[in-house]
Amino acid sequence: MKKFAIAAATATALTLTLANAAFAQTTTTQAPLTLASGEVAKATEATSDTWITTKVKSDLLTEKGIPGTDIKVETNKGVVSLSSTVAVTDAQKATAVAITKKIEGVKAVSADGLKAD
């Protein structure tokens, strides 16, 4: 009977030790999940900016009268910057800005980098 009591006490001690280890492991795995949610937000924002840039560029390329291949498009947190090394007319600049503002997700447009004639 004494051997049984010792075995039971040992089993209980091991169970509690393993339970503590399991709980400790659970709490340490929570931190990476919290970190991952922040990374997902950054990835979503980057994807959104990439999508906006691609959409603006494609719309500028398909618009007649706009030198879409000469206009550089950059997006940062929904703010689109248009620039070019080739001069564009004021009408082309206004059209490029209007096209860009219509894109979903665009918060603001900066066309200061577009060289005007």
Could you list the pLDDT tens digit for every one of the 117 residues in the chain?
555 555 555 555 555 555 555 555 555 555 555 656 666 666 666 679 999 999 999 999 999 999 999 999 999 999 999 999 899 999 999 999 999 999 999 999 999 999 877
pLDDT for residue 50: 94
**Strand (E) or helix (H) holding 73:** strand 71-76
Q: Where are the domains of the chain?
A: 2-113
Chain centroid, CA 85 distance in Å: 29
pLDDT for residue 75: 96
Q: Sheet with 79-84: list strands edge to edge.
A: 71-76, 79-84, 108-113
Distance CA 22, CA 49 (A): 41
> Model's pTM, two decimal places?
0.63
pLDDT for residue 56: 96
pLDDT for residue 45: 67
pLDDT for residue 71: 95
pLDDT for residue 66: 92
pLDDT for residue 117: 75
